[in-house]
Structure 1
Amino acid sequence: MSDKPNYKDTVFLPKTDFPMKAGLPQKEPGILERWQSEGLYEQLREERAGREKFILHDGPPYANGDIHIGHALNHVLKDMVCRSQTLLGKDAPYVPGWDCHGLPIEWKVEELYRKKKRNKNEVPATEFRAECRAYAQKWVDVQREQLKRLGIQGRWDKPYLTMRAKAEADIVAELFKFAETGQLYRGAKPVMWSPVEETALAEAEVEYEDIQSTQIDVAFEIVESPIEELVGAHAVIWTTTPWTIPVNQALAYGPQVVYALVEVEDAKESHLNGKRLLVAESLIMAVKHRLQDSYDDDGLELVAIEPYGGSDLAGTVARHPMHHLGGFYAEPRPFLPGEFVTTDSGTGLVHMAPDHGEDDFELCRQHGIGPKFAVERDGRYRDDWLWLGAHDERRRSVINKPFNAPEGPICSDLREAGALLSASADYHHSYPHSWRSKAKVIYRCTPQWFIAIDEPLHHLDPKTRAEIRWENEGGPANDGGKIDDYPTLRETAMDAIDKTRFVPDKGRNRLASMVEGRPDWLISRQRAWGVPIALFVHRESGELLVDTDVNKRITDAIREMGIDAWSEERMAEYLGPDRNADDYEMVGDILDVWFDSGSTHAFVLESDEWPELRSPADLYLEGSDQHRGWFQSSLLESCGTRGRAPYKAVLTHGFTMDSAGKKMSKSLGNTIDPLKVMEQFGADIIRLWALSVDYTEDHRIGDEILRGVGDQYRKLRNSFRYMIGALADFSDDEKVDPADMPELERYMLHRLAEIDGVLRQAVEDFDFNLYTRTLADFANEELSAFFFDIRKDCLYCDDTQGVKRRSYRTVLDILFHAMVRWAAPVLVFTAEEVWGTRYPDGGSVHLLEWPEVDAGWKDEALAKRWGELIALRESVTEAIEPYRKDKVIRSSLQAEVGVPSDEDSDFLAELFISGPVANADSVTITPTEHAKCGRCWRHLPEVEEDGDLCDRCDEVLN
């Protein structure tokens, strides 16, 4: 046993109660509770009152079910935006909100009814809506607590809800603005319709899936034509929706397409031989192959007789295959010129059913052919419809697969009529489905309410019109030009997109392409749970009643008692004494929920309920799917009523995939539940993951990824733990002016100033991946593995009053104040714990502002010198490693180093954390033979025996 003294108690080791083990799941709820009891959010509003504002407007999540990982990512990003802007000293409030109306909630309540064997239609509407409201409120309350648990800071005591009476009244008031300015109209157009949910759907409510459908070729006999040879021949159409044949009213041809009359030869089926068919010349072979496959007849041939230009078909008339039924089917089917007709597939001739197609509807409308409304809400033909109407349920359900099958009723009847040329059930294509029910949707023509996209906005004032039409064109600012050239809603929206900042920038093209090509905005739905389209229509004239006094009475009533105020019992009250209620029809549809959420800028940002907000918002932030959803509906609503976008910038994030890059699905069992992650690891781990990924693209999460995030978190935590311990008992009296510090400390201040610039720019760019990575890399690679590592000997063993040690602790203090502030928006709970450990009475870290970093600390010459020294250090470390690996030495302190450098040897030994250093032609390593100091453990020439003191330690102790 050695008789040398033990110098352990003489070493100035870091002292702290800050634990290495985080225990976040246990600590975080307590911190949350303290923030709430102390009113931290309200304190922030008081602290930042009068400062420059930054307004992020929350896109309302849907009040339906627990939050998922997408919710977590979305709200952490929003929280990071608000916290980082607050850190910069701005007033950045956050008012959360929820979308509460609409089909998903109504659907869930109906499911509950079905379980109880209740019929929704037999329940009073007010009772049903009350149940929907209660269901929505339940999930608002659940999600609110789950989002708070993530550390999301906001006005949780007063969120906005679209189902609040005041909000409902304000939404109706926004609708009235469109009515009063002539942008609103009722029209019968084909819209996406869900027969399962019995309502129209917006494009944002539709998703596309690959399916297998029946494809058929149908022959329409030509009975009239300016081309004599065509009379008696058959025009061939191809379709993948056999159910639309019962409502065919015309055939479309391409004016620029070349057609050919062909004759069927060598067919096994005698009824085909000699049949003359009209098809596009370039599609003869495709038609032949379908006929051959349908009849298993490789010998069948189509022989061309005569070509015709498409425009030559004008005036040609065919008859419906079921013409023998009389009535509607006996009417002639005219050939109409359609620019949309192509020869990409099919036959080059397209059957027109204006009830069930946009192109069909528009082309037929231009030629005086209107829809027949043959298909009802549930997707079945009317009982009085001549063909199929009075048949059994199986035959009437148009989206029923057997109904459309080659052996189904449509094909069977066409086959019996001799009009079915081919039928097969192997056509693969993408088809629209309702994203809620997952059922196929159809185009169905019904009377609906629309907002016109291409009508002039006469209500915009001259200044606004001038800004839109002539900005950047050098035109007049007001009346000096052509003021009567009013912009349309589409033009106004496109101009607003040009003026909006997009992050990432590709979002601009995506939104612009959608607005540029979109149809009129369909805003009506045929359900019960939603804001009513509170309008009156004159029964005889069909004219929409536009009266500001009537509108005010309606909005006042809804503001008082909510949407239940829109009832037939109050018609006379709303219409007033000058009108007879019997003369008017009360609209029974509700508004599309996208109109609700698109109006949030009006009833939230512009409301005196939240005076901390203002309009337009600085930022809207949602997933990339919202280009066709909330971003677009908000843009159209605001441009239609205010002539501008409701936002200055739009930020979009991608979707979260599993660790293999697959879409998450409960059926696949690859979902990650953020609630369970918080239970196991804590909310700060989810936050660190969310802010570390490149959110602008689709990104991944999984157990292994979370373990990696956990390792990153532990390194950051240990860096804070070290700083807290190393700064024990530090006071202002110990501080050293940077000019008097050793160059290593001055170099670290230079790096701090550089990091400050990177992080500021990252906040400006909303580049949180760069922000978090920069912070973590600086802490792990430059502080822990470099600066702290080099200076631990100085901290532990130097004289406490020495300039070098005091300088080190001064820089540590500067680093601590910077790092804890920078980390606060990311690791909201850990940063609070770190700050509170060092400053128990220092209030919350989240009340602090961006650290003061002196730009004068930058020293490029010093940085260049230290870049060379660091490269030399890395070479030495690399050279030492094999000696450690082979256990020739146990520590780098046992290595004597030779390097090609004239630097002071003691300085280099400290830099390398090695034994003595000498000048050499190249990097060399030699195991030392010097004894080890019993206090600092360095191997030095002046130490005679292991355990003796080196000169430095002897001086410190004496």
Structure 2
Amino acid sequence: MSYKETLLMPKTEFPMRGNLPNREPEMQKQWEEDGLYEKVQERTEGRPLFILHDGPPYANGDLHMGHALNKILKDFIVRYKSMSGYHAPYVPGWDTHGLPIEVALTKKKKINRKELSIAEFREMCKEYALQQIDNQRVQFKQLGVRGDWDNPYITLDPAFEAQQIKVFGDMAKRGFIYKGKKPVYWSPSSESALAEAEIEYQDKRSPSIYVSFDVTDGKDVLDGDEKFIIWTTTPWTIPANLAIALHPELEYVSVEANGHKYIIAHDLLDEVAEKLEWESPTVVKTFKGQDLEYVVSKHPFYDRESLIILGDHVTTESGTGCVHTAPGHGEDDFWVGEQYGLDVLCPVDGKGVFTEEAPGFEGMFYDKANKNITEKLEEVGALLKLEFMTHSYPHDWRTKKPTIFRATSQWFASVKDFRDDLLKAIKEVDWHPDWGETRMHNMVRDREDWCISRQRVWGVPIPVFYAENGEEIITDETIEHVSNLFREHGSNIWFEREANELLPEGFTHPGSPNGQFTKETDIMDVWFDSGSTHQGVLVEREDLDRPADLYLEGSDQYRGWFNSSLTTSVAITGKSPYKGILSHGFTLDGEGRKMSKSLGNVMVPSKIMKQLGADILRLWVASTDYSADVRVSNEILKQVSEVYRKIRNTMRFLLGNLHDFEPNTHALAEGDLEEVDRYMLIRLQETIAKVRKAYDEYDFSVIYHTINNFCTVDLSAFYLDFAKDILYIEEADSKRRRSIQTVYHEIVVSLTQLLSPILTHTADEIWKYIPGVEAESVQLTDLPEARTIANEETTKVKWQRLMTIREDVLKALEEARHDKVIGKSLEAKVTIVPKDENTLELLESVENLHQYLIVSDVELISSYETAKAYDTVSVAVEKHDGEKCQRCWVSSHSIGANEEHPELCSRCASVVAEKV
């Protein structure tokens, strides 16, 4: 007879190869048809609520690796929470307003805005945004991200816009909103104000000039023939100069050099003297900065004064200690100028072109005017030094063009008025990583005002009316009315109707005796849009609540969404909109470089999924230390794929050996399990505890390594390996076999559940092949909780010692194989010499020790001359002198003892006899 047919070999239809690119879309389609997201929500209804609030990605373009990293991390957490005692709805969202969509239509789609009304153009922007959302939604779902995709939040939705208007109104009511002329980041290329979060720094080559200002009134402190020296890298701001700022506590000197007397900070004398090539400069007088307050100097080429003022922002880090001050072109300049009643002169228009307020330079683009202004300074004898330098300079993050500081009439949120409340709220947030708290604290601590107006059309209008006398109108009545109009019609109505049609019926105001009103034409900063999601989403939707448990975004959002959300929420509620912040780094290539088309190192999620599958991408995310920047490359993904293969093959082996196992019928009670099987249950519980803790701490790389280690070391290298001799050879219903199967079943169920939040497709696939499970999807179950196993400590200590001894025996077997003493380990007889009596007793207590070592025979003796010494035992390996059983391949002296089966050992002959 064929003895192979008598073996209980593994059987499973669970495929060896994942074939993820083809199988995953089918699974995703099935989940959608089955309403799996809704089923999860129904199952967890009534549990404590956990809300991870989605920071809205911008609705433009295909997904990049940063999107994948972010959304997959969120999905890990939401899935884990819904499987660990929480009700965790996930509502994805999109940010839809702003310049990129306007640019996409005008440049890419070649739309001529001049041929359209504002309302018509906005409608086209809306249609484009919705198309982008549909495109991105498909790609997010391909990543395996589970959420309420049919009901996302979108910042252009009328209901959202209505809530945003209320946020603005509440802030205005508390006195935090005002209109004023102040210098703000301005993008000439976009012709709009920018938020700090829309600024990125790039290197720029700029002129560096030293300029002298003649003193005209020394106020009895100076002789009157001195010159103040300023240094600047923006010559184009000289036409707007109104003052020179000194630090009140710094020491200044009047220095005689090259036939003139110059005033600079004493600490910078050597540096300036070297730069201006002064020979033997002589200090004539010394002053404190405060002594020179209100001294008057003259503008180099205009007939106006430049007042000497004091400011704490002045330093001696560079320059001259005398700071050129143009209140219309600098934040510090503005604030110090306001203290001295200086005008806010800004002779540059929205396109970056000089106006008539800069005589001699009208019509010139500011950057090109640098040369003309420098030549003018040289002409009048005020230019002391000209050179060029490359330095980090603010650029518009969309157009990549340089920005300027420009004073314009804008709407502001006065952050400084509730800064203390913001700092208090920051302390109450749980920050991951810890340094996030310091970073946010420092940003808020130094923040004054937030410019919330933009000179664009695609966005939420600022809901302000103006009376005939120019008075601004923001009342509870108007805010409520506009909010209701937006909820019913959308914000486009603001541009479709006149001001009088947008006001409440019968509205009157003392400033409009004729009943005529106008409306604001600026829109809100898009960061005000996304910063209002705590109101427009968490409050608006019945299935959510404020504050959210967690916001999770890239580290750039400390100055973006984290910041704007905190600002608006604290302004109207006094509290943070989030209990916790979790931030991640950026995605780089395998060499740590930023991805760019020019370098040819861009990796795209859609391409990776077509080649490897979403679960490989998800496993890569789990493998990273995402708190810092993370690297991805084909080589890195290959390594991750290898780990995936090991996990999949391990699960397939477990499933294959459960082909004849029914848990309700065959499972043994814990007390009836073999000792080694209880030990593996203990290792499983330790793995469960470690993985659960890592999930709680959002430390997914620990999960990745822990499960990989358990599959590779505990299972593949030990438990699955030696168990083959029992699972394949013993009678189907033998106690030893059922004992192993009982533990196999618990392992495969537990690992599938633990892996489900990460390898969501593969886990669902495995689940369908596990005997005895009732839930239609592993996603509709809870994660296992670690439990205590009977005699846990004793069993654990014993088997940890045995595993150490086993390692020494395996080393000896490998050396014997290398020396050609044996081929396969089943050809070996091992003689073990224990180092002490305790070790001897330990080994003698193990029944079938040869099976755990995968050898044919083990002999324990007190001495053996040729044994090799190891840490725990001495081991001698020799070739077994018995014959090889043709069924189990174990060498035995019992071959031929059974006449009916002369090729079998006594154990196999007995099993086969039972089958026959």
TM tier relative to shorter chain: over 0.9
- Tell me whether 273-282 or 851-860 shows the greater mean CA deviation: 851-860
CA distance in 2, matches of 1:309, 1:372: 29
Matches within 5 A, 1:780-795: 780-795=712-727
Residues 525 and 590 in structure 1, CA contact (< 8 A), matched pair in contact too:
yes
Cross-structure match for 1:29: 25
Cross-structure match for 2:61: 65
Q: CA deviation at 1:944?
A: 6.1
- Tell me whether 905-914 or 68-77 shows the greater mean CA deviation: 905-914
SS at match of 2:60: coil
Residues 201 and 395 in structure 2, CA contact (< 8 A), matched pair in contact too:
yes
Report whether the alignment pairs 1:519 with 2:451: no
Cross-structure match for 1:251: 244
CA distance in 2, matches of 1:303, 1:139: 68
Matches within 5 A, 1:751-900: 751-838=683-770, 843-851=776-784, 853-857=786-790, 859-899=792-832, 900=834
CA distance in 1, matches of 2:287, 2:478: 60
SS at match of 2:444: helix
Cross-structure match for 2:369: 403
Cross-structure match for 1:912: 853
Q: CA deviation at 1:227?
A: 4.7
Question: Which consecutive unaligned segments of at least 5 residues does structure 2 have?
Answer: 864-873
Q: CA deviation at 1:887?
A: 4.3
Report whether the alignment pairs 1:683 with 2:614: yes
Residues 750 and 857 in structure 1, CA contact (< 8 A), matched pair in contact too:
no
Report whether the alignment pairs 1:719 with 2:712: no
**One-letter code aligned to 2:677:** E
The total of aligned residue pairs comes to 884
Cross-structure match for 1:424: 387
Distance 1:799 1:357, change over 3 A: same
Q: CA deviation at 1:583?
A: 5.3
Residues 82 and 88 in structure 2, CA contact (< 8 A), matched pair in contact too:
yes
Matches within 5 A, 1:387-466: 387-390=360-363, 396-398=364-366, 400=367, 402-404=368-370, 408-425=371-388, 427-455=389-417
Residues 60 and 97 in structure 1, CA contact (< 8 A), matched pair in contact too:
yes
Percent identity of equivalent pairs: 42
Distance 1:282 1:947, change over 3 A: farther
Cross-structure match for 2:170: 177
SS at match of 2:731: coil
**One-letter code aligned to 1:757:** A
**One-letter code aligned to 1:403:** A
Q: CA deviation at 1:527?
A: 0.5
Residues 821 and 878 in structure 2, CA contact (< 8 A), matched pair in contact too:
no
Residues 185 and 449 in structure 1, CA contact (< 8 A), matched pair in contact too:
yes
- Alignment deviations for residues 706-741 of structure 1 (CA, whole Å, 9 cap, x no partner): 000000000010011111110002112211111111
SS at match of 2:138: helix
Cross-structure match for 2:318: 345
Q: CA deviation at 1:862?
A: 1.3
Cross-structure match for 1:631: 562
Give the counterpart of 1:928 among 861, 880, 886: 880
- Alignment deviations for residues 757-809 of structure 1 (CA, whole Å, 9 cap, x no partner): 21221122111111222122212221122111121111011122221111000
Give the counterpart of 1:601 among 500, 510, 534: 534
CA distance in 1, matches of 2:240, 2:787: 77
Residues 500 and 517 in structure 2, CA contact (< 8 A), matched pair in contact too:
no
**One-letter code aligned to 1:710:** S
Cross-structure match for 1:942: 894
- Alignment deviations for residues 304-344 of structure 1 (CA, whole Å, 9 cap, x no partner): 3333322221231110110xxxxxx3221110011111111
CA distance in 2, matches of 1:46, 1:568: 43
**One-letter code aligned to 1:99:** D
Q: CA deviation at 1:36?
A: 0.8
**One-letter code aligned to 1:600:** T
Residues 933 and 947 in structure 1, CA contact (< 8 A), matched pair in contact too:
no
Q: CA deviation at 1:939?
A: 1.7
Q: CA deviation at 1:521?
A: 1.9
Q: CA deviation at 1:284?
A: 2.0
Distance 1:947 1:75, change over 3 A: farther
Q: CA deviation at 1:203?
A: 0.9
Give the counterpart of 1:192 among 185, 189, 192: 185
CA distance in 2, matches of 1:30, 1:183: 52
Cross-structure match for 1:474: none
Q: CA deviation at 1:197?
A: 0.5
**One-letter code aligned to 1:623:** G
**One-letter code aligned to 2:904:** L
Q: CA deviation at 1:853?
A: 4.7
Q: CA deviation at 1:947?
A: 8.0
Distance 1:183 1:228, change over 3 A: closer
Give the counterpart of 2:264 among 279, 301, 308: 279
Distance 1:689 1:947, change over 3 A: farther
SS at match of 2:203: strand
Q: CA deviation at 1:356?
A: 0.7
CA distance in 1, matches of 2:750, 2:791: 16
Question: Which consecutive unaligned segments of at least 5 residues does structure 1 have?
Answer: 265-272, 293-298, 323-328, 391-395, 456-488
**One-letter code aligned to 1:515:** V
SS at match of 1:428: strand
Report whether the alignment pairs 1:107 with 2:99: no
CA distance in 1, matches of 2:41, 2:702: 28
Residues 89 and 850 in structure 1, CA contact (< 8 A), matched pair in contact too:
no
**What is the aligned-residue RMSD (CA, Å)?**
2.0
Distance 1:594 1:687, change over 3 A: same
Matches within 5 A, 1:720-735: 720-731=651-662, 732-735=664-667
Residues 239 and 358 in structure 2, CA contact (< 8 A), matched pair in contact too:
no
Cross-structure match for 1:548: 476
Distance 1:121 1:252, change over 3 A: farther
CA distance in 2, matches of 1:52, 1:842: 22
CA distance in 1, matches of 2:238, 2:474: 40
SS at match of 2:313: coil
Residues 822 and 878 in structure 2, CA contact (< 8 A), matched pair in contact too:
no
SS at match of 2:253: strand
Distance 1:351 1:230, change over 3 A: farther
SS at match of 2:762: helix
SS at match of 1:923: strand
Residues 532 and 588 in structure 1, CA contact (< 8 A), matched pair in contact too:
yes
**One-letter code aligned to 2:42:** E
Give the counterpart of 1:957 among 904, 908, 912: 912
Residues 89 and 849 in structure 1, CA contact (< 8 A), matched pair in contact too:
yes
CA distance in 1, matches of 2:575, 2:269: 52
Residues 280 and 349 in structure 1, CA contact (< 8 A), matched pair in contact too:
yes
Matches within 5 A, 1:254-265: 254-264=247-257
Residues 934 and 947 in structure 1, CA contact (< 8 A), matched pair in contact too:
no
- Alignment deviations for residues 281-307 of structure 1 (CA, whole Å, 9 cap, x no partner): 222222222223xxxxxx845333333
**One-letter code aligned to 2:290:** S
SS at match of 1:251: strand
Q: CA deviation at 1:677?
A: 0.3
**One-letter code aligned to 1:949:** L
SS at match of 1:307: strand
CA distance in 2, matches of 1:362, 1:228: 26
**One-letter code aligned to 2:453:** S
Q: TM-score normalised to the size of structure 1?
A: 0.90
Give the counterpart of 1:501 among 430, 433, 448: 430
